[in-house]
Chain A
Amino acid sequence: MSNIETGIGKMTPATTRRKRLSQNQVAWIGLIVLLVLLPTSATPFHLDIASQIFIAGIGALALMVLTGIAGQISLGHSGLMAAGAFTTGILYKEAGAGIWITLPASVVAGAVIGLIFGLPSLRLRGIYLAMSTLALHFLVIYLGGEYEFASGASTGIFLDPPVVFGFEIYDGYAWYYVLLALVAGTYWGCRNLLNSKTGRAWEALHANETAAEALGVQVANYKLLAFVITSGIASFSGALFAYYQNFVSVEAFTLFLSIQYIAMIIIGGMGSLPGALLGAVFVTLVPYFVEWLMEAVPYIGLDITTVSSASYAAFGLLMILFLVFEPSGLTGIWKRLVGQFASPSKREDTP
């Protein structure tokens, strides 16, 4: 916390544009240092929440690139995560494969399924595309269920902790740093992708497909590329989820999971990569917050179903509130706050 405060403290009203940029970097470095040092004062419970946020963050980044940047709506995100989790689970169970085989295989499986998910997008737009991804979600879940049924593992597949360079990742600290590195890597990769020709092509076809085509953007190719890349990432996060839980089951990959990811990018702010991470933090914390709230209020019969249905309702309400009143999400609120704090200082500068 102190790192960020020093970063902000240095900001004087007379900052030039160049200086402010470097302070932005100071804030980033501060955030990274903070995240690296955080586990020193964290309980296993906090580490668990943080790890969940990191996994959700990787998935949310993928959906943000697909929907927020390239403008292709998908209701099949949880199906893709299921594909990754099941690829990992099946390879581990049937062949005893290690993490160096299962993770790349999951990414490839996700990319292939992403290609299939993406094919309808060449012909369909908007809600029709959403429907085709929804249908594919049910198909993937059905295939996963069939596998569980056929292999006799009707409750799910158990996984042992992954071994990396002879080091077994099983305690909260190890998971925290591994997932932190992975989410930072994904963020960095996505950011570079967006600053490249590919990212600009995606933004162009999001804004206007016909105009993008006229400007020489290969719309079909870039659409498919968006599906392939983001599905690979989503599948990767599904595989990580499987390893983190030590368990794979179709039960975990419901339609509600897809909706949660959509909630992340809406709440975070469409089209913003930091927004995806903010949304992941927010959405992951909602059930804990609801539980805390319900414990604080004297309430009779506090059980799992009550808490889970209360967080369902809270999700719905939050999504509605953001969609109706704050469509640009948390990043929109943040920008407005910064604008409000910055504008008086600018006014002092000008005379």
Chain B
Amino acid sequence: MQILANIVVLTSLYALVACGYVLVYKVSRVLNLAHGELMILGAYLLVATSAGIASDPLAAIALTAMFSIVVGLSVYLLLMRKMTGQPVLAAVLTTVALGILLRGAMVLIWGPQQLNVGAMISFDNASIALTDSVRVSTAALWLVVCTFLVYLGLLAFLHMSRWGMRMRASGQNALLAAQRGINLHTVYALAWTLSTFSGSLAGVLVTLDSRIDVNMAVIGLKAFPAALVGGLDSLPGALIGAGVIAALEVLLIHYVNPLLSDVVPFLVLIAILIVRPWGLYGTKEELNRV
């Protein structure tokens, strides 16, 4: 039972990170390989706000959310906007470069040592007993709840609101969408903002559960196979992909070899790329376009 709880928590983490990849890819066909770094930047922003501005946990988290929106918006406006219309590969390499830049900058600003964010905002990460034998930490519980809410909100937004429809239209055919008067730059900026926001949320929650360390950006890379298994342009797919990856990772670590932890997501990635490159729920014709 404890294993099941672990799988659910890890699924939530991967799903929350993966939806950032999906949002940006679905709308602008750009793969954001800096997502892991942006995620950890969200956590470091919490460190900055709690140290400088607000000591109340809720206020600090709310401010961090606002800052992460600013970060996402400025990443698009200052950098990725220039790559719109460039070859996809150039855009992807730009995100790789952004990741390296952020990684270096974060160590320069906040130092290489691990920080305990929970203690900084006096967040009590107590272990909660769900049943007699199953325990999860408070932060993990929050993670599950937030992932659920984010997915609910995103699906409702994409399918029910006017801007959501515009985002989907831009993703299906950018040229036709622009022809119909949709401002692509606004739509792309919105996608980057939402993506960075959800990523930062994941970063904050996962670092509240453990400690903050710049190398945790690797979670971003490990969540990428989740997005790809489900299909890079499908939100429900990302949720299911996250479930598959998380279940395999937890089970293999528990029953086979703990060293497999870092490699399992990528083994699944290779398998899915060989068998069904467009993923479980992705659109097949996309492959010809990239």
Contacts and interface: CB of A to CB of B under 8 A. Distances in A.
B103 A135 contact: no
A146 interface: yes
B97 A316 contact: yes
A315 B104 contact: yes
A120 to B, nearest CB: 6
B262 A138 contact: yes
Interface string A174-206: 000000000000000000000000000000000
A320 B79 contact: yes
A127 B108 contact: no
Interface stretch (B4-12, B187-195, B264-272): B264-272
Contact of B274 (A73, A120, A266, A324): A120
A132 B273 contact: yes
Given A132-B273, A134-B266, A135-B273, A259 B100 contact: yes
Nearest to A318: B97
A310 B287 contact: no
B88 A313 contact: no
Nearest to A311: B104
Contact of A312 (B100, B266, B277, B290): B100
Given A320-B79, A320-B98, A309 B103 contact: yes
B263 interface: yes
Given A312-B103, A314-B104, A316-B97, A130 B92 contact: yes
B262 A142 contact: yes
A323 B101 CA distance: 14
B290 A128 contact: yes
A309 B108 contact: yes
Given A139-B263, A149-B259, A306-B108, A128 B99 contact: no
A330 B93 CA distance: 17
Contacts of B224: 131
Contact-residue size bin, chain A (C-beta under 8 Å from the other chain): 35 or more
Given A135-B266, A139-B266, A309-B107, A319 B290 contact: no
B105 A136 contact: no
A312 B97 contact: no
B59 interface: no
Interface string A311-348: 11111110110011001000000000000000000000
Nearest to A258: B96
B104 A313 contact: yes
A111 B82 CA distance: 38
Given A73-B89, A305-B112, A312-B103, A324 B270 contact: no
Interface in A294-312: 305-306, 309-312
A323 B94 contact: yes
Nearest to B82: A324
A310 B108 contact: yes
Contacts of B108: 306, 309-310, 313
A134 B269 CA distance: 10
A292 interface: no
B83 interface: yes
A315 B92 CA distance: 16
Contacts of A142: 259-260, 262-263
Interface in A108-166: 120, 123-128, 130-132, 134-136, 138-139, 142, 145-146, 149
A262 interface: yes
Q: Is the interface of B mostly helix, strand, loop or mixed?
A: helix
A262 B94 CA distance: 11
Interface string B195-234: 0000000000000000000000000010011001000000
Nearest to A145: B259
A181 to B, nearest CB: 32
A256 interface: yes
B290 A316 contact: no
B29 to A, nearest CB: 9
Contact of A320 (B97, B104, B221): B97
Given A131-B228, A256-B100, A319-B96, A305 B107 contact: yes
A224 to B, nearest CB: 15
B31 interface: yes
B93 A266 contact: yes
Contact of B101 (A130, A132, A145, A320): A320
A249 to B, nearest CB: 16
Given A125-B287, A125-B290, A317 B269 contact: no
Given A131-B228, A135-B269, A315-B101, 5 more contacts: A127-B92, A131-B224, A135-B267, A135-B270, A309-B105
Interface of B: 31, 79, 82-83, 88-90, 92-94, 96-108, 111-112, 221, 224-225, 228, 259-260, 262-263, 266-267, 269-270, 273-274, 277, 287, 290
21 contacts: A120-B273, A125-B287, A127-B89, A128-B287, A138-B262, A138-B263, A138-B266, A142-B260, A259-B96, A311-B104, A312-B107, A313-B100, A315-B97, A316-B101, A316-B104, A317-B101, A319-B93, A320-B97, A320-B98, A324-B83, A324-B94
Q: Which 3 A-B pairs have CB atoms at the shortest separation, nearest pair first?
A: A316-B101, A313-B104, A312-B104
